[in-house]
Amino acid sequence: MKEKEKKQFNRKLLMSFLKGSKRIFALSMLMVAVSALTDMLSPQIVRLAVDNVISRYSGSSDPILIKLSSFLGGTDYLRANIWVLALALIAVALLKAVSIYLFRVSNTAASEKLTKTMRDTLFVHVEHLPFSWHMKHRTGDIIQRCTSDIDTLKGFISEQMTSIFRIVILLAFSIAFMSGMNVPLTLIAMAPVPVILAYSVSFHKKIGAAFLDCDENEGKLSSIAQENLTGVRVVRAFGRERQERDRFFAQNEYYTGLWMKLARPLSMYWSIGDVISGTQILLITVFGSVFCIKDRMLPGEFIAFLSYASMLTWPVRMLGRLIAEMSKAGVSIDRIADIMRSKEEKETGRALKAPMDGDIVFDNVSFSYDNGPEVLKNVSFKVSKGTTVGILGGTGSGKSTLMLLLDKLYELPEGNGSITVGGTDIRDIETKHLRENIGMVLQEPYLFSRTIAENIAITREKADMKKIVEASRAACLDETVKAFSKGYETFVGERGVTLSGGQKQRAAIARTLIRDTPILIFDDSLSAVDTETDAKIRASLEKRFGSACVFLISHRITTLSRADNIVVLDKGRVIEQGSHDTLKNAGGLYQKICEIQSGAETEAAV
């Protein structure tokens, strides 16, 4: 995508995020304008007091002061009742306090609503991105974009953008009031402003890449922390604490070094800004004093002018800082937009809700990941309705890839064969409908930080306790759960750390069985259970799902032996097919594995 197109996309994305909070932000901007106006009024009241009320001079003939004096009762009245001016200052201060309060309330409400919209939008979008996208992106980096980058963008819109609006108003009003009092001194006061702005813009362009580098490396640091927290048992079991600590320290040191490197130009930027701002105040003080001595400026005008100049010193410097902060926000919106630009998973065919209880046919299926070497090469076999197919093969033979293609987690490209269910190509079956009718138990089951009952029922919207227990019994988990003090209300730690490997697999099986789907896939999901439990689960499955198409992927011959058909894969090709009785004497790979496992079992028995 071209840079111009990216910027257009970013703008549209930002406007979509602001839906629902625009009016509240508008209210906060209005309160900012009122607050800025009160800042402009106070110096004029002081000027009126000095030049028109207590001054021995004839007083200022400025129309603004004349109108203000008339509004407060006239010069003579104010000289007799100077407390009115003090009251006017208090009233202005109160108005400012109210406007700032309303600004804070409305701005906070708008910013939090904006944050919620961004988080909701990003989360929903990430959920709908293809499986292949998630395989290419680190979890820590995704979390970084959904948290830190959103906070950065929220801070810029709610704080920096409102500050820019306030600064622009202050500049406009101040220049108007200052030029009305003394044009030459106004030109002197405004002379440094273009210098600060030009320097800030130049600085903004230079540090953008540095901010991006910092943000990306923060994502890498988050990934390392996230991996170690979720894999803490592996780290501790293998005594890898020191290595992982060194890995984290190295990344943290590099990340810290990036910010230290960025601190140098930032420090130079602020130092130059201090010099320019200090020079500005010095010039105003010197020239203003000279103008007063030469009667080209009244004392009250000089006091008011100095007040306006002091008000502008920090905002003008802030404007430069805000331009620098824009670099951070620009990096954050780019990183968020990078996710939002990623295309969601979409239907590629006719989105049919075809019957899912028919025969499943793999016809000359070939597949490779991201133009890499072929993982599957012309794979063909048939799974008849109500039968079980076993799939055996070494690591990297393409067993799991077949199931990912069947579930459309990866799209099978045109010209690479076909997969049909009941005669309908899965490309033409609605993805949601397809997945609702396929139950999949993965080799590495993932359990959520919830109760056992909630983990089992998570795949079904309305699942009563009776259904949960039935599925648990079919997975040979019920007796184990009842042994826990809280039973099905036992809380499972993050990723199921409180359960053993076999218990997690059985919980995952129960979670799949509760859906009663016509297609079941067990991707080496019995590897962590003992042989006896394996046999019980298989017997339970045969009794419970006699009409379902069942895929059993396993390295264990005893698990596959009762399958109606066994497909043996090697390097992505089907090298053998048939029943257990046929293949165990066929002299091929299946027989070799069968003999090896039989020998191992005999030795174990002895």
User: For the segment 68-92, what is each residue's pLDDT rounded down to a tens digit?
Assistant: 778 777 777 877 788 888 888 899 8
- CATH at residue 125: 1.20.1560.10
State the amino acid at position 336 in one-letter form.
Answer: I
Query: What is the H or E stretch that residue 494 is in?
Result: none
pLDDT at 494: 61
26, part of any domain: yes
Number of domains composing the chain? 3
What would the pLDDT profile of 345-382 be if each residue is shown by its tens digit? 888 778 888 888 889 999 999 999 887 888 999 999 99
102 pLDDT tier (thresholds 50, 70, 90): very high
User: What does DSSP assign to residue 491?
Assistant: B
How far apart are alpha carbons 337 and 219 in whole angstroms?
A: 16
Residues 595-602, mean pLDDT to the nearest whole number: 69
* pLDDT higher than 60, residue 601: no
Residue ending a domain, among 341, 374, 394, is 341
Find all residues with CB under 8 Å of 544, minimum gap 6, and list them. Answer: 474, 513
349 within a domain of the structure (yes/no): no
Residue 14 included in any domain: yes
Sheet with 418-421, strands from edge to edge, namely 374-383, 360-368, 418-421, 424-425
58 has pLDDT over 60: no
How many whole angstroms separate alpha carbon 536 and alpha carbon 528? 14
More confident residue, 58 or 441: 441
Q: Containing H/E element for 367?
A: strand 360-368
Quick check: is 542 in a domain?
no
Higher pLDDT, 325 or 475: 475
The amino acid that residue 482 corresponds to is K
Do 108 and 123 lie in a common domain? yes
Give the pLDDT score at 606.
Answer: 42
Burial of 55-70, coded b for 16+ CB within 10 Å and e otherwise, reads eeeebbebeebbebbe
The radius of gyration of the chain's CA atoms, rounded to the nearest angstrom, is: 36
Same structural domain, 427 and 375: yes
Ordered DSSP codes for 122-170: HHHHHHTS-HHHHHHS-HHHHHHHHHHHHHHHHHIIIIIHHHHHHHHHH
If asked whether residues 269 and 308 sit together in one domain, one would say yes
Angle between helices 241-293 and 299-341 (to 10 degrees): 150
With respect to residue 136, please indicate whether it lies within any of the assigned structural domains. Answer: yes
For the segment 451-491, what is each residue's pLDDT rounded down to a tens digit? 888 888 888 877 788 888 888 888 888 888 888 888 888 88
In sequence order, what are the beta bridge partners of 383?
360
- Cross-strand bridge partners of residue 440: 521
Q: Is the pLDDT of residue 64 over 60?
A: yes
CB 185 within 8 A of CB 306: no
Q: Is the per-residue pLDDT at 5 higher than 50? A: yes
Question: What distance in Å separates the CA atoms of residue 201 and residue 323, rounded to the nearest whole number?
Answer: 7
| pLDDT confidence tier of residue 321, bands split at 50, 70 and 90 | low
- Same domain? For 287 and 309 the reply is yes
490 or 606, which is more confident? 490
**Buried/exposed 220-252: b ≥16 CB within 10 Å, e otherwise:** bbbbbebbbeeeeeebeeeeeeeebeeeeeebb
Domain that holds residue 275: 10-341
Classify 2 as helix, strand or coil: coil
Secondary structure element (H or E) that encloses residue 523, with its range? strand 519-523
pLDDT in tens, 161-207: 887 788 788 878 888 888 878 888 888 888 777 777 777 767 766 67
CA dist., res. 184 & res. 67, Å (int): 25
Alpha-carbon distance of 143 to 174, in angstroms, equals: 44
- Least confidently predicted of 46-50, 59-63, 171-175, 222-226: 59-63
Any residues with CB less than 8 A from the CB of 223 and at least 6 apart, and which? 138, 139, 140, 141
Residue 600 has pLDDT above 60, yes or no: no
| pLDDT score at 330 | 80
* Residue where the block lists tokens 């009320």: 53
pLDDT digits (tens, 9 = 90+) for 6-27: 878 888 888 888 888 888 988 9
| Averaged pLDDT, 289-299 | 83
Across the chain, mean pLDDT equals: 81
Query: Is residue 443 scored above 60 in pLDDT?
Result: yes
Percent of the chain with pLDDT over 90: 9
**Same domain? 73 vs 182:** yes
Whether residue 583 sits in one domain with residue 457: no
Q: Are residues 148 and 294 in the same domain?
A: yes
Q: Are residues 252 and 289 both part of a single domain? A: yes
Pair (375, 472) in one structural domain = no
Give the model's pLDDT for residue 94: 94
CATH number of domain containing 604: 3.40.50.300
Do the beta carbons of residue 229 and residue 145 sit within 8 Å?
Answer: no
Strands 573-578 and 388-393, sheet pairing: unpaired
Give the β-pairing of 424-425 and 438-441: unpaired
Does residue 1 form part of some domain? no
Q: Residue 437 is encoded by which pair of tokens?
A: 């009718």
Token look-up 């009941």 returns: 422
Range among 228-232, 525-529, 582-586 rated most confident: 582-586
Structure confidence at residue 530 (pLDDT): 66
Q: Which amino acid is at 447?
A: L
As beta bridge partners, residue 552 has 390, 522
CB-side neighbour CA atoms (13 Å) of 271: 6
- For residues 372 and 317, membership in a common domain is answered with no
Is residue 296 in a domain?
A: yes
- Please state the separation of Cα 342 from the chain's center in Å: 13
Which of 605 and 265 is assigned the larger pLDDT? 265
Share of the chain above pLDDT 70, in %: 89
In this structure, of 202-206, 222-226, 443-447, the range with the lowest mean pLDDT score is 202-206
- Let me know whether 456 and 415 are in one domain: no
Over residues 520-534, mean pLDDT = 72
In a domain, 346, yes or no: no
Residue 605's pLDDT band (cuts 50, 70, 90): very low
Asked if 266 and 326 sit in the same domain, the reply is yes
Query: Comparing 219 with 509, which gets the higher pLDDT?
Result: 509
- How far is the C-alpha of 402 from the C-alpha of 129, rounded, in Å? 20
